[in-house]
Structure 1
Amino acid sequence: MWRRVYLPTGREGLVPLAFVFADTTAVKVTDTVAVLEEAGRRYWAPRRHRTIHQGITARDYGQAVPVVVTTLEQLTEHGVGAAVWRRLGRAGEQTLTAALNSPDADALYRGQAARADAEEQAAPCR
């Protein structure tokens, strides 16, 4: 149903989910985010690619829900385009676009797999 209602964004993974905390303390936000990260890991975390190649570090975000968090205070002070978003599983704050992008995803995988294939083809048969 999502694919018919929402146009493709070009990003891997499912529709993003944002939590904006308001009228709370930094400690409560930190504690809540820690619970979200631990309890929801199977939903937001990327998976390893299934491959025969060694050394593939790219991740598969195909079934991952991108979850980002911030506070209303940060949005009010800095604006929605500022580096106020934190994606679960990552350290530090980023812009929303950077938080939703996955530089360790399919593009990286295609490059790593192509290099591994080329190395395999160039290696002498044993």
Structure 2
Amino acid sequence: MEKAADLTRAHWQGRWRREDGYHSYDGCIPIVATTLELLREHGPTGPAFWRFGRDHREPLLDAIGNPRRDAALARGRQAEPRQPTARASVIGRGAHHQATPATLTALSV
């Protein structure tokens, strides 16, 4: 498997995004390998899969994911200020004000 990883590196190796703290795999293919022996030992949901470029085996969903990117994106979403949406503004006006097409058009401009 090491030889296959070396020969295909250009297709799966991500680019480090230092400012964000994760590898970006945009345009790359996550190549994951296993053996029948590992599948028998750990089962299809156990740590039987090796993603090229990583130094350990893990469950399939972890192997094809990018947990550092997911964590960085979640931190970014938490840091963004909450902006009320146009729909929330219309709904927040109370039941006596109905959202009409003219109201929605004015809000979307």
TM-score interval w.r.t. the shorter chain? Answer: 0.5 to 0.7
Higher helix share: 2
Larger Rg over CA atoms: 2
Q: Where does structure 2 lack aligned partners over 5 or more consecutive residues?
A: 80-109
CA distance in 2, matches of 1:109, 1:41: 26
CA distance in 1, matches of 2:45, 2:38: 11
Q: How does 1:69-88 map to 2 (within 5 A)?
A: 69-88=33-52
Q: How does 1:58-97 map to 2 (within 5 A)?
A: 58-97=22-61
Compute the TM-score of the two structures, normalised by the length of structure 1. 0.52
Corresponding residue number in structure 1 for 2:102: none
Q: How does 1:11-26 map to 2 (within 5 A)?
A: none
Deviation at residue 106 of structure 1 after TM alignment: 5.8
Q: Where does structure 1 lack aligned partners over 5 or more consecutive residues?
A: 1-32, 116-126
Compute the TM-score of the two structures, normalised by the length of structure 2. 0.59
Higher relative contact order at CA 8 Å, sep ≥6: structure 1 or structure 2?
1
Deviation at residue 110 of structure 1 after TM alignment: 7.2
Corresponding residue number in structure 2 for 1:47: 15
Taking only aligned residues, the RMSD between alpha carbons, in angstroms, comes to 2.7
Does 69-78 or 94-103 show the bigger shift?
69-78
Aligned-residue identity in percent = 28
Deviation at residue 99 of structure 1 after TM alignment: 0.7
Deviation at residue 88 of structure 1 after TM alignment: 0.6
How many residues are paired up? 80
Q: Secondary structure at the match of 2:34?
A: strand
